[in-house]
């Protein structure tokens, strides 16, 4: 049995109840086969694949807090510190009722390779809780965040582990968590990224993931002799990544015609009104149906069931899934291909199922996975860490220019890695290989730890 198959078997036996984690490991290890085969004896002896698929540590804890009615609520908190071979652990905090150990482990595992791809010195980790911020008052959010940090602070630090935002964790939540960390540790340090501008945040961090996704997509199009100008784009989600992806796509001359949230989706053939979107989502924190109610060109569709991903049935040139994992399945991929889609780039983490990814690749769609395409967020978080260490703040333009350079660099790194191993155009394999090689070289140099 090949080394990859042996390790896949072991990982399945050890984690039978973690489907998302197994999905991520299967996808990554399968695409690493050419590199592993070229180094099989050495990697097997050093147990490289066993070590890279086992987190350094996983922390789970109780998060008790009191709601506005005086009722005590209890959530479960997580931090998975996956690999710090090339820098302190870095990865977001997800607050969503679906959060469990499998999801946090899959995200932490992917983060290792993504962070490596940015070329910046950051290891991989992820955290979160099954807490649902929807419908909670500011007071309840603060109580939850303070309780969460009262345990988490023991394991993090500016040179140890630097969490950031993710689904359900925006500037408000990061602010409450930062305040509690500072209070408990009596230490003003860059322990979290995504902070407010008045207390150590970086300009352009809010926009970074969405903007970065578009910088990479633009480079991909350019290298295939195309431009963004005049292209029609489908985006899913309507949170941080989706909003700024839509904004940058339109600045580049494309027309974004869809968005979604967990209850429904919109089709706006005139192109999304970004200001209205921000008003509905960022100011009112309302549902997308309110966008459609305020704009005559937009149609709102209720989501019929968990498998209703209506946005992928619209005819577009480019599709950018920016909501959550496994939101683009094989049927969606077939609909996109039938409608002539040219490129699919993932703003979210693992939004495309393995079958859908394969179908898109087999049908000549230029497909770039989240590890490369959404790395702009964490790259800019690392730039926030640099600014905190220097105790300086860079201008929006300076951060944005660096972000653009990093995303263009990532596109070429994954393209080159795919070509080097005879898989030209397979950007998924290219991203995994480019990210993996750097981490493995650092692990080998640091001995058996």
Among 115, 247, 324, 357, binds ligand NDP (CB under 6 A): 324
Interacting span for ligand NDP (CB under 6 A) from 80-88, 153-161, 342-350, 439-447: 342-350
Smallest distance, Å, CB 289 to ligand NDP? Answer: 11
90 touches 54 (CB < 8 A): no
Smallest distance, Å, CB 64 to ligand NDP? Answer: 24
Q: Does 264 bind ligand NDP (CB under 6 A)?
A: no
Q: Does 206 bind ligand NDP (CB under 6 A)?
A: no
Among 88, 237, 369, 430, binds ligand NDP (CB under 6 A): 237
Residue in 126, 136, 195, 371 annotated catalytic:
126
| Residue 59 bridge partners (DSSP) | 79
Burial (CB count <10 Å: 0-12, 13-18, 19+), residue 349? buried
Q: Does 332 bind ligand NDP (CB under 6 A)?
A: no
For ligand NDP, the closer CB: 262 or 363: 262
For ligand NDP, the closer CB: 84 or 209: 209
* Six token digits for residue 211: 């903007």
User: E strands along 84-219, which residues?
Assistant: 89-95, 123-129, 161-164
Smallest distance, Å, CB 399 to ligand NDP? Answer: 14
CB environment 211-236: b (16+ within 10 A), e (fewer): bbbbbbbbbbbeeeebebeebbbbbb
User: Who's near 6: CB < 8 A, 6+ residues apart?
Assistant: none
Q: Does 240 bind ligand NDP (CB under 6 A)?
A: yes
- Pick left, alpha or beta for residue 237 (phi over 0 → left; psi -120 to 50 → alpha; otherwise beta): left
Interacting span for ligand NDP (CB under 6 A) from 7-15, 65-73, 115-123, 320-328: 320-328
Q: Does 241 bind ligand NDP (CB under 6 A)?
A: yes
CA distance 36 to 376: 28
Among 39, 73, 262, 339, binds ligand NDP (CB under 6 A): 262
For tokens 């950031």, name the residue.
164
Q: Does 104 bind ligand NDP (CB under 6 A)?
A: no
Element (H, E) at 72: strand 72-83
Smallest distance, Å, CB 306 to ligand NDP? Answer: 7
CA distance 370 to 353: 12
Tell me if residue 90 falls in helix, strand or coil. strand
Question: Using CB atoms, what's the residue nearest to ligand NDP?
Answer: 239
For ligand NDP, the closer CB: 90 or 231: 90
Q: From the CB of residue 436, how many other CB atoms can be counted at a distance below 10 Å?
A: 24
For the residues of 229-247, what is the DSSP string, one character each? TT-EEEE---SHHHHHHHH
For ligand NDP, the closer CB: 39 or 98: 98
For ligand NDP, the closer CB: 43 or 371: 371
User: Who's near 342: CB < 8 A, 6+ residues apart?
Assistant: 221, 224, 226, 317, 318, 365, 366
- Binding string, 377-416, against ligand NDP, x = CB under 6 A? x---------------------------------------
* Six token digits for residue 61: 């804890």
Interacting span for ligand NDP (CB under 6 A) from 67-75, 179-187, 234-242, 293-301: 234-242
User: Who's near 311: CB < 8 A, 6+ residues apart?
Assistant: 234, 235, 236, 258, 259, 260, 265, 267
114 among known catalytic residues: no
User: Could you say which residues in the range 146-205 bind ligand NDP, by CB under 6 A?
Assistant: 165-168
Q: Does 91 bind ligand NDP (CB under 6 A)?
A: no
For tokens 């990859």, name the residue.
4
Q: Does 209 bind ligand NDP (CB under 6 A)?
A: yes
Q: Does 349 bind ligand NDP (CB under 6 A)?
A: yes
Interacting span for ligand NDP (CB under 6 A) from 47-55, 144-152, 257-265, 388-396: 257-265
For ligand NDP, the closer CB: 150 or 209: 209
Q: Total binding residues for ligand NDP by CB under 6 A?
A: 24
User: Who's near 153: CB < 8 A, 6+ residues apart?
Assistant: 180, 181, 184, 185
Smallest distance, Å, CB 34 to ligand NDP? Answer: 27
CA distance 340 to 337: 5
For ligand NDP, the closer CB: 217 or 374: 374
Name the site residues for ligand NDP (rule: CB under 6 A).
96, 98, 165-168, 209, 237-242, 261-263, 322-324, 347-349, 374, 377
Catalytic (active-site) positions: 126
């Amino acid at each position: 049995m090949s080394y990859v198959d042996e390790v896949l078997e072991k990982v399945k036996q050890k984690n039978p109840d973690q489907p998302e984690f197994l999905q991520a490991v299967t996808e990554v290890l399968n695409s690493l086969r050419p590199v592993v085969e070229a180094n099989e004896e050495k990697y097997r002896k050093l147990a490289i694949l066993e070590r890279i698929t086992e987190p350094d540590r996983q922390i789970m804890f109780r998060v008790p807090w009191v709601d506005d009615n005086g009722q005590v609520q209890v959530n479960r908190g997580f931090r998975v510190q996956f690999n710090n071979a090339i820098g302190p652990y870095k990865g977001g905090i997800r607050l969503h009722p679906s959060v469990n150990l499998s999801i946090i482990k899959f995200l932490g595992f992917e983060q290792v390779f993504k962070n490596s791809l940015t070329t910046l010195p950051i290891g991989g980790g992820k955290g979160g809780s099954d807490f649902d911020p929807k419908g909670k008052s500011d007071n309840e959010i603060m109580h939850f965040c303070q309780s969460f940090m009262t345990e988490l602070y023991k394991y993090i630090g500016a040179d140890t582990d630097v969490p950031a935002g993710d689904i359900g964790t925006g500037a408000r939540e990061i602010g409450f968590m930062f305040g509690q960390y500072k209070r408990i540790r009596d230490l003003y340090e860059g322990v979290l990224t995504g902070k407010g501008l008045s207390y150590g945040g970086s300009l352009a961090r809010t926009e970074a993931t969405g903007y970065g996704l578009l910088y990479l997509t633009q480079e991909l199009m350019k290298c295939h002799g195309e431009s963004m100008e005049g292209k029609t784009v489908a985006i899913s989600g309507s949170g941080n990544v989706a909003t700024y992806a839509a904004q940058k796509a339109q600045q580049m001359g494309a027309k974004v015609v869809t968005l979604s949230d967990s209850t429904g989706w919109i089709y706006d053939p005139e192109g999304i009104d970004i200001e209205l979107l921000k008003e509905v989502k960022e100011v009112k924190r309302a549902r997308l149906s309110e966008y459609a109610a305020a704009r005559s060109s937009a149609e709102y569709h209720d989501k019929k069931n968990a498998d209703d991903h209506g946005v992928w049935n619209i005819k577009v040139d480019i599709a950018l899934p920016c909501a959550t994992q496994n939101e683009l399945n094989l049927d969606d991929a077939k609909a996109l291909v039938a409608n002539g889609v040219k490129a699919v780039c993932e703003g979210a983490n693992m939004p495309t199922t393995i079958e859908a990814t394969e179908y898109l690749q087999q049908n000549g769609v230029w497909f770039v996975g989240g590890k490369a395409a959404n790395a702009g967020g964490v790259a800019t978080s690392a730039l926030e860490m640099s600014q905190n260490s220097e105790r300086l703040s860079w201008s929006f333009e300076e951060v944005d220019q660096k972000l653009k350079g990093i995303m263009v660099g990532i596109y070429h790194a994954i393209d080159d890695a795919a070509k080097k191993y005879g898989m030209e155009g397979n950007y998924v394999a290219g991203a995994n290989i480019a990210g993996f090689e750097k981490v493995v070289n650092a692990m080998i140099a640091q001995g058996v730890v």
